[in-house]
């Protein structure tokens, strides 16, 4: 210390030897004369006592600093920190951990070394003129790049970059999680990944109501590690027979509605997800797809709808109706089969069988026909010309085709 008044201030090169997290002070010892400065404050570009306002840092032990003893009597304080010198033979900064004692002779040697190409990077990444950097020992950082780019990160694979050109916000991450009152997003490596073959997925859950604990809706894209299974006696066997979502055809996109069926944070299905699911739709890597709905679905297309498939199979548990406002046409390349397993086949609203046993029928001969036969007088032969009409009766059968009644 020195008396108050217009005397010169003193500045000592020193190192931090201890800190006090409660008092927000440090202990320092000067580099050359080993002067001890207990419980001194650390200066800052700006500070105000209103709710801790300002820019501040708690230094670590062995950081190199300059202690100022003011000329007018206030207690000493740390006015700045500097990086220890590294020589070209000491690129890793080993000198930064050197004991605090250094003689004047060593100091002169260091000054000479600095003029001969010694550096003061201390492990800092090389910046550009105008860059402003805040960096922690463990790799987290904030960089205000010249040109307006802002870079904030914990590691190289956990950072966000703000780019003024186009007002772009770029996120870089290995895995991304966002938890919201309405649901969650998990995007990146699956929790079950292996180093040899990492699985990646995008999982998003949605709540219908904020106060719900489990989520009701889940969307998964990528490697669907925990697909929702089908209920008992469901469509799993049919899907397997069609090679949908089985074997090498892995499910790569799935949409499921299951009230209360999913853990919001992770998207994992709970024990009720299968039985409570009301909508499930998925697609696999082979191009297969599946849709199950427990309710009704209405598809309305204002213009044309074209479906082209290799094989088409319609199946309805109850009734099926097809209505065309114009011409309805059914064409089969190798024939058309219309079968009623039970009941009659009705054509054009018919209510009468096309024919019954005993019904009279007329047969028109389309080509000349020669015949032989016998009657009470003996053998006969004859010739029927084309266009002649023969009359007969139905003698057997039980027709199930209904046509409109004559008349």
pLDDT, tens digit, 9 for 90 and up, residues 188-246? 987 665 667 788 999 999 999 999 889 999 999 999 989 999 988 778 889 999 999 99
Read off the pLDDT band of 394 (50, 70, 90). Answer: confident
The pLDDT value given to residue 5: 62
Average pLDDT value for residue range 299-318: 92
Read off the pLDDT band of 95 (50, 70, 90). Answer: very low
The C-alpha angle 305, 283, 308, rounded to 5 degrees, equals 30
Helix, strand, or coil here: 350?
Answer: coil
The pLDDT value given to residue 88: 63
The pLDDT value given to residue 365: 83
The pLDDT value given to residue 395: 80
Handedness of CA 337, 340, 345, 349 (dihedral sign): negative
Is the distance from CB of 217 to CB of 250 less than 8 angstroms?
A: no
Q: Does domain 10-88+97-115 have CATH number 3.20.20.60?
A: no
Which tokens hold the place of 262?
A: 């999913």
Higher per-residue pLDDT: 306 or 395: 306
Average pLDDT value for residue range 159-183: 94
pTM exceeds cut of 0.85: no
Is the distance from CB of 78 to CB of 59 less than 8 angstroms?
A: yes
What is d(CA 13, CA 35) in angstroms, rounded to the nearest whole number? Answer: 10
pLDDT surpasses 70 at 105: no
Pairing of strands 183-189, 175-180: antiparallel
Q: Where are the domains of the chain?
A: 10-88+97-115, 125-173, 182-293, 345-371+382-403
* Tens-place pLDDT, residues 243-300: 999 989 999 999 999 999 999 999 999 999 999 999 999 999 999 999 999 999 999 9
Q: What is the mean pLDDT of the chain?
A: 86
**DSSP secondary structure of 27-47:** EEEESSS--EEEEEEE--S-E
What is d(CA 159, CA 254) in angstroms, rounded to the nearest whole number? Answer: 29
What is d(CA 79, CA 69) in angstroms, rounded to the nearest whole number? Answer: 10
* Tens-place pLDDT, residues 8-56: 899 999 999 999 999 999 999 999 899 999 999 999 999 999 999 999 9
């Amino acid at each position: 210390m020195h008396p108050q008044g217009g005397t010169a201030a003193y500045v000592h090169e020193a190192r931090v030897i201890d800190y006090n997290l409660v008092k927000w002070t440090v202990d320092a010892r000067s580099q050359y004369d080993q002067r001890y400065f207990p419980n001194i404050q650390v200066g800052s570009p700006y500070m105000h006592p209103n709710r801790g306002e300002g820019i501040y840092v708690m230094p670590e032990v062995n950081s190199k600093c300059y202690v100022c003893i003011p000329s007018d009597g206030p207690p000493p304080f740390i006015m700045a920190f500097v990086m220890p010198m590294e020589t070209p033979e000491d690129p890793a900064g080993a000198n930064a951990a050197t004991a605090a004692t250094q003689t004047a002779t060593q100091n002169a040697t260091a000054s000479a070394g600095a003029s001969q190409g010694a550096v003061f990077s201390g492990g800092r990444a090389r910046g550009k003129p105008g860059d402003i950097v805040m960096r922690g020992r463990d790799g987290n950082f904030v960089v205000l790049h010249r040109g307006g780019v802002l870079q904030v990160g914990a590691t190289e694979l956990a950072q966000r970059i703000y780019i003024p050109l186009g007002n772009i916000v770029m996120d870089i991450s290995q895995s991304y999680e966002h938890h919201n009152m309405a649901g969650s997003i998990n995007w990146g490596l699956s929790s079950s990944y292996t180093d040899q073959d990492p699985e990646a997925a995008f999982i998003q859950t949605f709540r219908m109501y904020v106060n719900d604990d489990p989520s009701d809706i889940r969307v998964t894209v990528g490697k669907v590690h925990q697909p929702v299974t089908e209920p008992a006696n469901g469509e799993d066997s049919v899907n397997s027979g069609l090679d949908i979502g089985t074997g090498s055809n892995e499910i790569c996109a799935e949409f499921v509605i299951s009230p209360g069926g999913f853990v919001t944070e992770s998207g994992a299905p709970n024990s009720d997800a299968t039985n409570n699911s009301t909508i499930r739709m998925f697609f696999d890597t082979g191009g297969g797809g599946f849709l199950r709905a427990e309710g009704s679905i209405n598809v309305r297309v204002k213009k044309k709808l074209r479906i082209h498939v290799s094989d088409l199979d319609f199946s309805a548990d109850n009734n099926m109706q097809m209505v065309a406002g114009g011409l309805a046409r059914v064409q089969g390349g190798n024939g058309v089969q219309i079968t009623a397993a039970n009941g009659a086949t009705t054509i054009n609203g018919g209510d009468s069988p096309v024919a019954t046993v005993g019904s009279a029928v007329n047969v028109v001969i389309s080509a000349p026909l020669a015949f032989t036969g016998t009657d009470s007088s003996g053998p006969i032969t004859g010739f029927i010309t084309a266009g002649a009409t023969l009359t007969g009766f139905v003698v057997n059968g039980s027709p199930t085709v209904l046509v409109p009644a004559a008349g």
